[in-house]
Copies of this chain bind each other. A is one copy, B any other.
Amino acid sequence: MDYASGENELKNWIIAETGFNPDYLGKCEAMMALGNGYLGLRSATEESYVGEVRNLFVAGTFNRFDEYEVTELPNGADITRMDIRINGKRFSLENGKIRKYKRMLNLKTGELTRHIRWVSPRGEELEFVFRRFVSLNNLHCIGMRAEITAMNQDMEVSIESGINGQLTNTGVQHFHEGEKRIFEKKYLQLIQTTTQSKIDFVVNTVHQYRVDGKEVDGEPKMVIDRRKVVLIQDIKLNRGQKLVVEKISNVYTSRDKEYDHGDYSLEVLRKDALFNLKSECKKGYEGLLQESIKKWEEVWEKYSICIDSLQDFDQLAIRFAHYHLVIMTPAHDHRMGIGAKGLSGEGYKGHSFWDTEIYILPFFTYTDPQIARKLLEYRYHTIDGARKKAKENGYEGAMYPWESAWKDDGEVTPVWGAVDIVTGKATKIWSGFIEKHISSDIAFALWQYYMITGDEDFMEKYGYEMLFEIAKFWASCLEWSEEKKEYHINDVIGPDEYKEHVNNNAFTNYMAHWTISKAIDYYHVVKEKKPEVYGRLNVLLGLDEAYRHWISKVDKIYLPQPRQEDLVIPQDDTYLQKEIIDLTEYKNQKHVGSIFRDYNLEQVNNIQVSKQADTLILFYLLENLFTKDIKRANWNYYEPKTLHDSSLSLSIHSILACDLDDLELAYSLFERAARIDLGPNMKSSDHGIHAAALGGIWQGVVCGFGGVRMLNGELRIDPKLPKEWSRLEFPIEWRGNRLHIVVTKDKEKQRLYITRMSNHDNAQAITLEVRGRKYTFKERLMVNL
């Protein structure tokens, strides 16, 4: 991979692949994925290779193959494959000679290009320029363009291209065969319906073939096959001539907000979709691309972060994170969540985890709170599933699913995972049953959103109800210990998934306690100040009774305390008694999960080893509860035992290292966090990019080095630039105000500049804390750090 391809105004905007390697197709397919939050298009190449994964996902279109598997985002029909034949032989970079090769994703424009000069084994030399984008303007639209130039001789070129619904999700077919049509000998249409959720997909495509600007004569051969409709166009190219193929496609589904209503008619949907294609394709590839680029310009205007670093890569990494955060997020529809792999791969089946609330949401909350609100509304949308899950597990309130899909689906975590090397059976996945902390993660995120935005409307409509229901859930989870005279939370998995069935996981207990405490606080608020909300929720949730429970229990919840001898907070009741082994072999490995080559999960359960940040996350989320000494002691204890086998780990550790003033370590952890997808491991992104890790990059910059934190409802900005950085510039939104933050460093002298970008006439002053001191300003603030 090459990240230095961009020059001048494109510097640090270009992700490039400079050589073709058929062993590592997944890396660029995922890293260079295209999308717009409505749809995600994995960047498999036009020509086909063994090992490729072609994915077209439309957010929210979940389907369940059968009763033995969980629902997942189905892989829609492919429109990216083009079989190109030169004098009858299939073009493939696996044979012949590659004279030039460069594939580039332009993060600024969202356009993917490939430049290839290739000599076939028969000696035909050609130049190819492939271009492709998914429109940020028309969410349904996908543009493709191929330029093929005959360099050294006349040749017959044949292009087979269309719509192919023979694809699956790793073998699972989510669609009925459907209807295949060709209109006016050029508009191809495939209509397929998902097998269980009965969502209609309408995929249309149209081609234009030109040689040296002149439209090609001769009708293509039309082929309707099983789940497939394609055209085969034969073209004679003289030496030096250039063939340009433009392929404009679109995708609509009956889950689209505009169609998902009682009067839905497939006939209307397919007509609209075809009409849209017919009118869009008149603009041509270039016209459609320009419309999309305009939307990207608005994005960069709003999100842009500038880093002056000795390493250009840092600037590129934050742009990469922004790019993917945009294309993975269904900002258009509050009924949908973000998948753990975005829309870039089949990994985690399109399901949403706590990754959204703890790793990704802060970016939106601080930068584009309207989208953050939609993502939280998605959780409200699924609250009935959470209530159902609570009831099924013998609890009250809302027990949010560990993995979440469509609103009615409830818990969708698969039950069986990878091989157990000892028994030879698949390992049981317990997260869906006992990884309970996600409910407080959601409560925390909505409170964070509320504090940062001040969005009362959200709280009244959704937020309070969620908070109270989650508090009810936790209250019902508490188990009284007669011996200790306190409430325990038993049999859970904490963030560290290498410890299953533990009691009193510190993170879980603290967050449950926090949730109930906040519910108590807000019970008073609504009762006193929002009688309408109080009345409604009291009827719906039995608020008064719930409150009595909370009050009676909250102070008796066991919160694991630092040990006297070394200030270490036990991760759970038994962690500190487990065996300590030499972890050198497994820490900082190229491949995550390397410990499972030697131990099965049961054995790993009995070793003091953590998959990821667990107790330490408390110091980030509930920062004020712990002293620096406690933080440092626990850091020293847990960091060496943490394998970072989850992509949710390094960014948090980097931020905490900032908090602990170890900037060198913070930067080196940030470097690793920023390379979870971008780094040299060519297989790590095969199943899709790491959505949480990308949110983690943003948090590492803004909350780590930028020092931004919301603490008890107050803004704190405590920037600490690493030695590699001389300047950091980023925007945040605070209570409806857009702030432009600049941190500069000159010979270790750091300065913080804050400019309020929004200008209301009688805007209130903004108060914040910097380096332990409070500041208040109206328009501009400068602080010497």
A66 / chain B contacts, CB cutoff of 8 Å: 176-177, 195
> Cβ of A726 < 8 Å from any Cβ of B?
no
What separation, in Å, do the CA atoms of A50 and B50 have in the docked complex? 6
Contact indicator B171/A165 (Cβ below 8 Å): yes
A180 / chain B contacts, CB cutoff of 8 Å: 419, 426
- Dominant secondary structure of chain A at its interface with chain B: loop
What's the nearest-Cβ distance from chain B to residue A241, in Å? 24
A68 / chain B contacts, CB cutoff of 8 Å: 176-177
Hey, what's the 0/1 contact readout for A167-188 against B, CB within 8 Å counting as 1? 1101111001101111111000
Closest B residue to A180 by CB, please name it. B426
Count of this chain's copies in the oligomeric assembly: 2
Contact indicator A424/B185 (Cβ below 8 Å): yes
Hey, what's the 0/1 contact readout for A89-120 against B, CB within 8 Å counting as 1? 11010110000000000000000000000000
Hey, what's the 0/1 contact readout for A410-451 against B, CB within 8 Å counting as 1? 000000001101001110000000000000000000000000
With A50-B92, A165-B171 as known contacts, state yes or no: A224 contacts B419, CB within 8 Å. Answer: yes
> Cβ of A389 < 8 Å from any Cβ of B?
no
Closest B residue to A226 by CB, please name it. B170
> Cβ of A602 < 8 Å from any Cβ of B?
no
Query: Using a CB-CB cutoff of 8 Å, which residues 191-240 of chain A contact chain B?
Result: 195, 221-227, 229
With A22-B90, A421-B222 as known contacts, state yes or no: A168 contacts B165, CB within 8 Å. Answer: no
> Cβ of A166 < 8 Å from any Cβ of B?
yes
> Cβ of A260 < 8 Å from any Cβ of B?
no
Contact indicator B50/A226 (Cβ below 8 Å): no
> Cβ of A637 < 8 Å from any Cβ of B?
no
What's the nearest-Cβ distance from chain B to residue A488, in Å? 35
Which of B165, B171, B179, B227 makes the CB contact (< 8 A) with A166? B171
What separation, in Å, do the CA atoms of A92 and B92 have in the docked complex? 13
What's the nearest-Cβ distance from chain B to residue A428, in Å? 12
Of A69, A221, A426, the most chain B CB neighbours within 10 A belong to: A426
Closest B residue to A229 by CB, please name it. B419
> Cβ of A23 < 8 Å from any Cβ of B?
yes
Closest B residue to A184 by CB, please name it. B424
A597 / chain B contacts, CB cutoff of 8 Å: 221
> Cβ of A599 < 8 Å from any Cβ of B?
no
A425 / chain B contacts, CB cutoff of 8 Å: 181-182
A5 / chain B contacts, CB cutoff of 8 Å: none
Hey, what's the 0/1 contact readout for A622-650 against B, CB within 8 Å counting as 1? 00000000000000000000000000000
Contact indicator B226/A171 (Cβ below 8 Å): yes
Contact indicator A182/B419 (Cβ below 8 Å): yes
Which of B90, B168, B183, B224 makes the CB contact (< 8 A) with A173? B168
- 21 A-B pairs whose Cβ atoms sit less than 8 Å apart in the complex: A65-B173, A66-B177, A68-B177, A69-B176, A69-B177, A92-B94, A94-B94, A95-B95, A165-B171, A170-B226, A170-B227, A171-B227, A172-B177, A172-B227, A180-B426, A181-B424, A183-B424, A185-B424, A222-B424, A224-B419, A224-B426
Q: A167-B171, A180-B419, A223-B419 are in contact. List 18 more A-B contacts (CB 8 A).
A: A22-B90, A23-B89, A50-B50, A51-B90, A68-B177, A92-B94, A94-B95, A165-B171, A166-B168, A166-B170, A172-B177, A181-B424, A181-B425, A182-B419, A182-B425, A222-B421, A223-B418, A224-B426
